[in-house]
Amino acid sequence: MDSKTKNRQHSTTLRAMVERAYGRSQVVNDEAFVQELTQGWFNVAYKVMLADGRNVVLKIAPSSATDVMTYERRLMRNELATMEIVRRHSNLPIPAVEYADTTRELCDADWFFMEYVDSENFGQLLESGRISASARESLMAQLGVMNRRLNSIVGHHFGPVAGEGSQSWREAYMDLVSDLLDDGRRADVDLGYEYGEILSIVANRSAVLDDIKTPRLVASDLWPSNVLIRDDTIVAIIDHERAVYGDPLMESGFLGDELPIFPSAESFQRGYGAGALSARQRARRRLYSLHLMLVMMIEPSYRGLQDPQQYRWVRARFRDLISTI
């Protein structure tokens, strides 16, 4: 995926990063030492070969001069904090961070190296049809099991992992939505409704969020494209940058029945151990679908994406969803 947020660097800078992280002896002079990984939308990522023959992954955040959405301004630091917490409090399969640099001395952004996991991307296999129905259902059930384990991690505040956050989930959620709407106004995005009307509808329905008393770790972006598999088994879950402490029902796996870009929620929920949702749980989940739809409508303006297909597809469904909130 191409995006103006991708902060690509010259090979000279990439070698300097390798030297800082692993030492001069690990720098490879052959130009084939680096290969861009193109699946992501936001950060630039590279597969980098070290002199000892080992592969690692380098992620570089957008330039500090790039206009991004409000919640994206410290996204890599949120990811690093989340990965540290997940590794400390669980045995979930996430790549190990091997070196992180937030000094902005070698380039105008944060960056880090992590282990490379030899695998295939679950989302790409689904999109290409190169996976059987039985393997798909098994993997979604595996993801449900892992997602429940991740949600068992409890924090001390609500909202993004890195930061002071809020003392209530309703307050944290309303902050997320308010920031999105501010970003949409700034980019002059037509949402099909007045911005104030959307905020008012959400605020009037937000009391159900007070049901959440415990701030649980929520990946919020753990869909198949952020799952790596080998031999029909999940071997890594990646891209934890959008993690928050909040309500597990915000997880992507629960949204498949409302947003068909996600697989059916049935297998995920079976693995998760979730039963039928109550009326209040369904009401919360619709609010989380609304939040995701706002992201999907507004973010193309900040990515520089020219194809309006995503915006049109989501905008049509947003109109249907908001009438049921």
- CA–CA gap between residue 54 and residue 186 (Å, rounded): 44
How confident is residue 47, by pLDDT bands cut at 50, 70 and 90? very high
Confidence (pLDDT) at 222: 94
Which of the four CATH numbers 3.40.190.10, 3.30.460.80, 3.30.200.20, 3.40.190.80 does domain 11-115 have?
3.30.200.20
Name, in order, each residue with C-beta under 8 angstroms of 24's C-beta and a sequence gap of 6 or more: none
The pTM assigned to this predicted structure is 0.94
Question: Which has the closest alpha carbon to 9: 62, 86, 64, 87?
Answer: 62
CB 96 within 8 Å of CB 197: no
How confident is residue 262, by pLDDT bands cut at 50, 70 and 90? low
Which of the four CATH numbers 3.50.50.60, 1.20.140.10, 3.90.1200.10, 3.40.50.1390 does domain 120-322 have?
3.90.1200.10
| Phi, psi values for residue 85, rounded to 5° | -65, -45
State percent of the chain over pLDDT 70: 97
Question: Phi-psi region for residue 273, left (φ > 0), alpha (ψ -120 to 50) or beta?
Answer: left
Report the 10 Å Cβ neighbour count for 226: 22
Q: Is the pLDDT of residue 258 over 90?
A: no
How confident is residue 324, by pLDDT bands cut at 50, 70 and 90? confident
How confident is residue 265, by pLDDT bands cut at 50, 70 and 90? confident
Span 114-173, pLDDT tens digits: 999 999 999 999 999 999 999 999 999 999 999 999 999 999 999 999 988 999 999 999
**Least confident span in 97-101, 123-127, 258-262, 277-281:** 258-262
Q: Is the pLDDT of residue 197 over 70?
A: yes
Please state the domain extents for the chain. 11-115, 120-322
Rounded to the nearest integer, the mean pLDDT of the chain is 94
Q: Is 140 exposed, middle or buried (0-12, 13-18, 19+ CB in 10 A)?
A: buried
What is the arithmetic mean of pLDDT over 283-290?
95
- CA–CA gap between residue 155 and residue 168 (Å, rounded): 12
Reported as half-sphere exposure (CB side, CA atoms, 13 A), residue 110 has a value of: 14
Q: Is the pLDDT of residue 3 over 90?
A: no
Span 292-310, pLDDT tens digits: 999 999 999 998 876 678 7
- CA–CA gap between residue 189 and residue 199 (Å, rounded): 15
